[in-house]
């Protein structure tokens, strides 16, 4: 097995991220002899939305921006031996793989070897029975859209080792997108927990895209970041022992320093000694960072422990309706009028709704759904306030009452309310549990084995 | 009291930076010292109790602090503070991304000498507790 370092670049941190970041990453990887390009495009509910899209059209259900992500860099990746690994298959990895094969044909490229990871969707009766065992009555009567397990790096590694140039997965854990290529490249023992722990945290650094390269870090005057508008996506250099350095695409804006790296290291971590993934329990409780200069930071001191026995499962279900309506007040007593308007609507709708009021421009984001903070804060005499009311109801017609009450403020007062906007959206809710990994039948195939 | 012993209250953002993360109805808030010399004040003063009080209006069901001296950082895990989380909360910020900046408005006491050397934003006006 080669022991040369492996470069892994990430060009997407979620579905909806910038889609023009890959070219600079691919140029950087190509100049250094190749590597792997990953796109992370799933959040907790993204997969359920993809399943709804697939229900409407069986050819859909994969990342809607797949073409934008892949088409501009496919030829260069194939030419320079850069593999592409992604969960952009979402609810339809085979559909995504077919589309990539089509893009290659449209561009006159030789057919790439595309692998598909399967088994994350839990639809078998015995799998549903296990979820029922774990979640009990909470599952009763739910209109389930999707139930998926978080797969790990094993299938990705196997597919790459077998010669896949592109690996399309659905729900795999975000860091597994990085660990898979590392396992394939270095041929590590899959129970070498310290190495797996380190490469997993390298994946954790990459998985949110610009969060580690300064995009999500900057605070004007306090945490300034150069050229943040053109910040580059991150690249990890992983060594044969799993130690890694975080950098970014060449000739891009943004910054990678000890501070940006520390923020991302702890992002969405609970116990730093036990960061759970399907592959390993990573331990960053003794991590430290070393700035190497030139937007490169080494992260050292990470180890790992044996992987959990069970896999995490997300169950998404239809969750009624979210109604949101806004109206603006400006000038003298604007905040007092907005507060009065909120009281009026809340009194008229009574206790039948979970309802929230925000005074945008005075208090909104930091408040709580119950409104305790808003009631406790004295009138700050804000003179440009937008009142936002949000509520939910299982029944669409009831949810619409919220919108009508806010619209009625146009004539029913308080004075000077303007600019009403209303929106009604279906909600997707989620439950989580874990099930034994033996109950999850994961695997992988080359596309041509399924759809020759 | 001599000059050297005088302390002043400063907002946390002058000593540290922070980022929120969310999983379900749980928020984690990192708190990372700008400089190793700021870490002791954070560890001594930003306790689980103070953080629980600071976020009391969100009714946390548990607050756990993990210290990471090699990173000069701490990680706070606040259970039940996201009004149900991204699927249930009616907040504009259902992920609680802004909660790290709420934490950074908390004040701590540091020596006047240290306070003079800490970064500040001219003209900034921290929110009231």
Cα gap B107→B104, rounded to integer Å: 8
Tokens of A415: 């004075």
Q: Is B59 close to A368, i.e. CB distance below 8 A?
A: yes
Distance from C-alpha of A416 to C-alpha of A362, rounded to nearest angstrom: 18
A149 closest CA partner among A438, A427, A445, A446: A438
Sort strands A82-86 and A166-168 into parallel, antiparallel or unpaired: parallel
Q: What is the pLDDT of residue B129?
A: 46
Residue B61 pLDDT: 97
| Strands (E) located in A114-206 | 114-118, 144-149, 166-168
Question: Which tokens go with B72?
Answer: 């000069």
Q: Do B121 and A285 touch (CB under 8 A)?
A: no
Contact predicate B78/B56, CB 8 Å: no
Probe site for chain A from B57, B59, B63, B129 (most A CB atoms < 10 A): B57
* Mean per-residue pLDDT over chain B, rounded: 92
For residues A432-441, give the mean pLDDT: 96
8 Å CB contact of B66 and A268: no
Cβ separation A272–B32 shorter than 8 A: no
What DSSP letter does each residue of A283-330 carry, written as one string?
Answer: E-TT-EEEE-SSS-EEEE--EEEPPPSEEEEEEEEEEEEEEEEEEEEE
pLDDT in tens, B5-17: 799 999 999 999 9
* Mean of pLDDT values over A259-288: 98
Assign B106 a pLDDT band (cuts: 50, 70, 90). Answer: very high
Which residues are CB-neighbours of A100 under 8 A, at least 6 positions away? Answer: A66, A70, A74, A112, A114, A166, A168
Q: Is the pLDDT of residue A89 over 90?
A: yes
Of A217, A288, A319, the CB nearest to B87: A319
Residue A34 near residue A235, CB atoms below 8 Å:
no
Mark which residues 332-371 of A lie under 8 Å from B by CB.
354-356, 358, 360, 364-370
Q: How confident is the model at residue B122 (pLDDT cuts 50, 70, 90)?
A: confident
Structure ipTM over 0.85, yes or no = yes
CB contact under 8 A, A427 and B24: no
pLDDT confidence tier of residue A451, bands split at 50, 70 and 90: low
Contact A368 B66 (CB under 8 A): no
Helix (H) or strand (E) holding B103: helix B99-103
Mean pLDDT value of segment A219-245: 96
CB A234 within 8 Å of CB A21: no
Q: Which residues pair with A430 in a beta bridge?
A: A316
Residues of B within 8 A of A135 (CB-CB) are none
The model's confidence at residue B1, banded by pLDDT at 50, 70 and 90, is very low
- Examine the pLDDT at A68 and tell me if it is beyond 90: yes
Give the CA count within 13 Å in the CB-facing half-sphere of A315.
22
Nearest C-alpha in A relative to B71: A288
pTM beyond 0.90, yes or no: yes
Interface touch B71/A263, C-beta < 8 Å: no
Which tens digits make up the pLDDT trace of A389-406?
A: 999 999 999 999 999 999
Q: Interface of chain B against chain A, CB under 8 Å? A: 13, 17-19, 21-24, 26, 28, 30, 32, 34, 57-59, 66, 68, 70-71, 73, 75, 77, 83-84, 86-93, 98-99, 101-102, 119, 121-122, 124
Query: In which band, very low, low, confident or very high, does the pLDDT at A2 lie, cut at 50, 70 and 90?
Result: low
- Structure tokens given for B83: 């009004």
pLDDT, residue A58, reads 95
Looking at per-residue confidence, does B61 or A3 come out higher? B61
pLDDT at A449 over 70: yes
In A273-332, the residues whose Cβ lies within 8 Å of chain B are 273, 284-289, 301, 319, 322
Measured between beta carbons, which residues in chain A are less than 8 angstroms from residue B22?
268
Sequence-distant (≥ 6) Cβ neighbours of residue A234 within 8 angstroms: A9, A10, A205, A206, A209, A210, A212, A213, A246, A247, A248, A249, A256
Q: Across all residues in chain A, what is the average pLDDT? A: 96
Interface contact flag, A356 B91, Cβ < 8 Å:
yes
Nearest to A222 among B13, B21, B91 (CB): B13
Tens of pLDDT, residue by residue over A309-366, are 999 999 999 999 999 999 999 999 999 999 999 999 999 998 888 899 999 999 999 9
For residue range A174-220, what is the model confidence (pLDDT) as tens digits? 999 999 999 999 999 999 999 999 999 999 999 999 999 999 999 99
Nearest-CA neighbor of A139 among A128, A149, A148? Answer: A128
Please report the sign of the dihedral spanned by the C-alpha atoms of residue A374, residue A376, residue A379, residue A380. negative
At residue A32's C-alpha, the angle toward residues A27 and A36, to 5°, is 70
Average pLDDT for B92-105: 96
Cα distance between residue A249 and residue A113, in whole Å = 26
How much is the pLDDT for A379?
96
Predicted confidence at residue B126, as pLDDT, reads: 59
Q: Say if the Cβ atoms of A266 and B83 lie within 8 Å.
A: no
pLDDT in tens, B24-38: 999 999 999 999 999
Q: How sure is the predictor about B86, in pLDDT bands with cuts at 50, 70 and 90?
A: confident
Residue of B nearest to A433 (CA): B24
User: Measured between CB atoms, which of B22, B26, B121 is closest to A222?
Assistant: B121
- Taking a C-beta distance cutoff of 8 angstroms, is the pair A287, A281 a contact? no
Distance from CA of B1 to the nearest CA of A (A): 33
Which residue of A16, A220, A222, A325 to mutate against B (max B Cβ within 10 Å)? A222
Is the pLDDT score of B2 beyond 70? Answer: no
């Amino acid at each position: 097995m080669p022991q040369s370092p492996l470069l892994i670049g990430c060009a997407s941190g979620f579905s909806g991220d910038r889609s023009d970041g890959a070219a600079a990453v691919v140029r950087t990887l190509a100049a250094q002899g190749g590597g792997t390009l990953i796109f992370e495009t799933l959040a907790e509910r993204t997969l359920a939305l993809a399943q709804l899209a697939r229900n409407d059209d069986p050819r859909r259900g994969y990342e809607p921006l797949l073409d934008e992500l892949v088409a501009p860099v496919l030829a260069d990746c194939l030419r320079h031996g850069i593999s592409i690994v992604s969960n952009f298959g979402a609810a339809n990895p085979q559909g995504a793989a077919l589309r990539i094969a089509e893009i290659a044909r449209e561009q006159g490229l030789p057919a790439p070897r595309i692998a598909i990871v399967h088994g994350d969707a839990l639809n078998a009766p015995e799998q549903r029975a296990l979820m029922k065992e774990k979640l009990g009555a909470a599952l009763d009567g739910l209109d389930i859209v999707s139930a998926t397990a978080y797969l790990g790096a094993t299938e990705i590694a196997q597919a790459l080792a077998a010669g896949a140039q592109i690996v399309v997965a659905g729900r795999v854990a975000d860091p597994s997108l990085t660990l898979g290529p590392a396992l394939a490249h270095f041929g590590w023992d899959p129970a070498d927990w310290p190495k797996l722990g380190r490469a997993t945290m390298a994946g954790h650094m990459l998985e949110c895209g610009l969060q580690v390269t300064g995009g999500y870090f900057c605070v004007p005057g306090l945490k300034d970041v150069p050229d943040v508008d053109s910040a580059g996506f991150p690249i990890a250099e992983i060594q044969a022992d799993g130690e890694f350095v975080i950098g970014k695409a060449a000739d891009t804006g943004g910054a990678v320093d000890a501070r940006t790296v520390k923020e991302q290291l702890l992002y969405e971590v609970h116990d730093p000694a036990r960061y759970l993934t399907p592959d390993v329990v990573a331990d960053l409780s003794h991590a430290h960072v070393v700035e190497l200069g030139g937007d490169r930071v080494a992260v050292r001191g990470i180890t790992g422990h044996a992987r959990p026995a069970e896999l995490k499962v997300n169950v998404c279900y239809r969750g009624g309706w979210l109604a949101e309506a806004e109206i603006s007040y400006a000038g003298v007593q604007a905040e007092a009028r907005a507060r009065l308007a909120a009281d009026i609507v809340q009194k008229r709708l009574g206790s039948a709704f979970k309802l929230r009021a925000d005074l945008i421009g005075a208090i909104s984001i930091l408040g709580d759904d119950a409104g305790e903070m808003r009631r406790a804060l004295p009138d700050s005499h804000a003179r440009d306030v937008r009142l936002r009311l949000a509520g939910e109801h299982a029944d669409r017609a009831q949810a619409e009452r919220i919108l009508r009450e806010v619209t009625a403020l146009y004539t029913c007062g308080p004075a000077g309310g303007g600019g009403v906007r209303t929106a009604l959206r279906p909600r997707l809710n989620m439950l989580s549990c874990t099930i034994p990994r033996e109950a999850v039948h994961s695997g992988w195939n080359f596309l041509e084995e399924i759809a020759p | 009291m001599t000059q050297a012993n005088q302390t002043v209250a400063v907002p946390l953002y002058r000593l540290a930076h922070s980022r929120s993360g969310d999983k379900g109805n749980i928020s984690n808030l990192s708190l990372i010292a700008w400089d190793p010399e700021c870490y002791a004040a954070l560890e001594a003063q930003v306790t689980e109790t103070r953080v629980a009080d600071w976020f009391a209006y969100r009714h946390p069901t548990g607050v756990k602090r993990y210290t990471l001296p090699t990173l000069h950082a701490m990680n706070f895990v606040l259970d039940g503070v996201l009004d149900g989380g991204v699927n249930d909360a009616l907040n504009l910020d259902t992920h609680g991304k802004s909660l790290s900046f709420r934490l950074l408005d908390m004040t701590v006491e540091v020596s006047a000498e240290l306070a003079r050397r800490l970064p500040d934003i001219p003209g900034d006006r921290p929110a009231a507790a």
